[in-house]
Structure 1
Amino acid sequence: MFIHASGEYLPERVVDNDYFSRLTGRPSPWFEQLTGIRQRRRAGEGENANSMAIAAVKHLLRTGDANLEDIDLIIGASYTPWDTIGTIAHVLQREFSLANARAMYLSTACSSFIDAIDMASAYFASGRSTKALVVASEHNSLYSSDGDEKSGHLWGDGAAALILGNTPGKLQLEVLDTHTVGLADRGKGPFGITMVPRDGGLVMHHGKDIFVHACREMAGMARLLLERNKLTVGDVRLVIPHQANKRIIDSVADDLGLAPQRVALTIGELGNTGCASVAITLHRYAHKLEPGEYALLIAFGGGYSAAGALVRRAP
């Protein structure tokens, strides 16, 4: 399976740590020291997960050498939907006149984007699809409370889009392997973080439990994919982790023995953009891969779940 093109959308509004300092009374540097986040983007009036998804696809079409002809599968990935019936995938199908494509919504928390790639791979392998549009879009600020001292300062909004095909594209990125797994039986599982719209919205109940399992499972996912493909950490040019917390990313990098320059980061300027974080970071870093070089995508999601993908630029 090949990545033909990618695009992103980030809202214009920038919220820095001074804003949360005024809300909570904590000094502004505290937030960056705890999370690595300096600022984050927030959706504006009239924006939502659906509109940001559309904008990401439009950016892809403007900047990528690709088109939406022959799309037969649309997967919208998110845990912060604007509408659970008129989903991201259905809105994209209508907006871009993608007749007769399968349209579906997928949510496995912050693993959702990589899970969507895994699902597209399965459709390709079964012969039921040949070209897919995968879009990850998160509107965290719709459901979170800025006054929540545990996690209100973490969340950013944004979206990214990919076109996947079963034949090579001009971008020359190949998805060699994917793996996803549910981990709801581990730790606090479904109770670590919840997003109940009518009962407090997005709340992180057990941050320490999430931290421990995220560090362990993302490193484990990286090792699994490397071993399965007879590679070592030294063979990987870039690791593109879920951008939840810089301390988690640092822990995973240390566990794997990765030098800082081999870890892709967007968390400082974008915050935690949920499942869109890996997609946005991939879009921003893919050009750094030289022919034959590998990248590892890894994520941990609330609930719990983990996901990974091994990508290579064609030699």
Structure 2
Amino acid sequence: MNNKAGILGIGSYLPEKIIDNLYFEKTMDTSDEWIKTRTGISERRIANDNEATSDLATKAALKAIKCAKLKPENIDLVIVATATSDMVFPSTACIVQNNIGATKAAAFDMSAACSGFIYAMTVAKQFVENKVYQNVLVIGAEVLSRVLDYTDRTTSILFGDGAGAVVIGNVEFGGILSTYLGSDGSGKEFLNIPAGGSKLPASQNTIDNKLHTIKMAGNDVYKFAVRIMGDASLKALEMANLKTCNIDYLIPHQANIRIIEASAKRLKLNMDKVYVNLDKCGNMSAASIPVALDEAYRLGKIKKGDNVVLVGFGGGLTWGSSVVNWSIQGGKNE
């Protein structure tokens, strides 16, 4: 039996509420044209007041389990990649484990910001290929709208909420051909939420200074991202013994359209081989890649046997990439 880990099922969930660029035109010094030109974003999904990260993750998880033709009790491990956990502890993964009825599963969260899904998928791959677990549920989920300063136009316009999930298990065909992870903690100040941890616990000062919201050095992050997205993709291809000409589809982290276009150019890909939902979803951090991957699959853009490159970057600084030979049948109109 081929002991290769791959994606057995996939699903995603987006909240119903939409905030478009006109909202920001009314509340700060910006415009729809300015936002679109610099980011590629037209709108983003926002969770309802009664929706937490675990709620979005639960809905995506159930869809992925159904797609894999499994039941919740077949899941051995739940990993949730998120920067917006429901609470400090217990983990959001434990809450999801209970919500879906995965009574036999262990559970933990993964913290790697926007790279979190690929980090979590890499961990799942090891568990499956080392025969520790048979079916691992990997979820990228975020409610970033709760950690934004809506007076800061450099960050508030960028982010949205959502969740995507995959079930990783043994596949007879294809599978996860390679994964590559990296980090550079010297860039920790470029993208972070300063307060809320042991260094700066909640206080009147941290609240007054909005230190519980996302802070970003935009130019530094942009320069880093343009370089690392291409470098990481090429490294994952090299590890899989493939070249850029072998790429059938690219699913990049949805942070900025100019970063995505630069990555495609580096990989010598036409944009028709790149999936972009940034315009309608914004940057969903750890949820960006799995949501985009699910949408591309459902639209029939990814077919069984395709080589799909996943690549992302995030706070840490972190980055991750993977080459997946797609193993699920179906897709369009499923």
Mapping of residues 1-315 of structure 1, within 5 Å: 1-61=5-65, 65-168=69-172, 174-185=175-186, 189-195=187-193, 196-197=195-196, 198=202, 199=206, 200-286=211-297, 287-314=300-327
Q: CA deviation at 1:256?
A: 2.0
Partners of 1:62 and 1:164 lie apart in 2 by 13
How far off its partner does 1:276 sit? 0.4
C-alpha distance 66-101 of structure 1, shift in aligned 2 (>3 A): closer
Gaps of 5+ in 2: 197-201, 330-334
The runs of 5 or more residues in structure 1 that have no matched partner are none
1:173 deviation in Å?
Answer: 6.0
Larger mean CA deviation between 256-265 and 110-119 belongs to 256-265
Cα 1:92–1:22 shift into 2, 3 Å: same
Alpha-carbon contact 1:135-1:159 (below 8 Å) kept = yes
Query: How far does the alpha carbon of each residue in 1:34-90 deviate from its partner, in whole angstroms, 9 at most, with x for none?
Result: 100000000112001011111212333556633334211110110111112132210
Counterpart-to-counterpart distance in 1, 2:117 and 2:130: 20
In structure 2, distance between residues paired with 1:94 and 1:147: 37
Counterpart contact for 1:4–1:66, Cα < 8 Å: no
Aligned residues: 309
Output the amino acid matched with 1:312.
N
How far is the alpha carbon of 1:149 from its aligned partner?
1.5
Q: CA RMSD in A?
A: 1.7
Identity %: 29
Taking structure 1 as the reference length, the TM-score comes to 0.93
Scaled by the length of structure 2, the TM-score of the pair is 0.88
- Distance (whole Å) between structure 1 residues aligned to residue 66 and residue 238 of structure 2: 38
- Which one-letter code corresponds to 2:183 in the other structure? G
Cα deviation code 1:230-267 (max 9, x no counterpart): 21111101110000111111111122221110111110
**Aligned twin of 2:199:** none
Task: Tell me, yes or no, if the aligned pair for 1:4 and 1:173 is still in contact at 8 Å.
Answer: no
User: Residue 158 of structure 1 contacts residue 276 of structure 1 at CA under 8 Å; is this kept in 2?
Assistant: yes
Deviations 1:80-130 (A, max 9, x none): 111121322101221222224221110101000010000011112332111
Letter in 2 for 1:175: I
Contact 2:307–2:324 at 8 Å: present in 1 too? Answer: yes
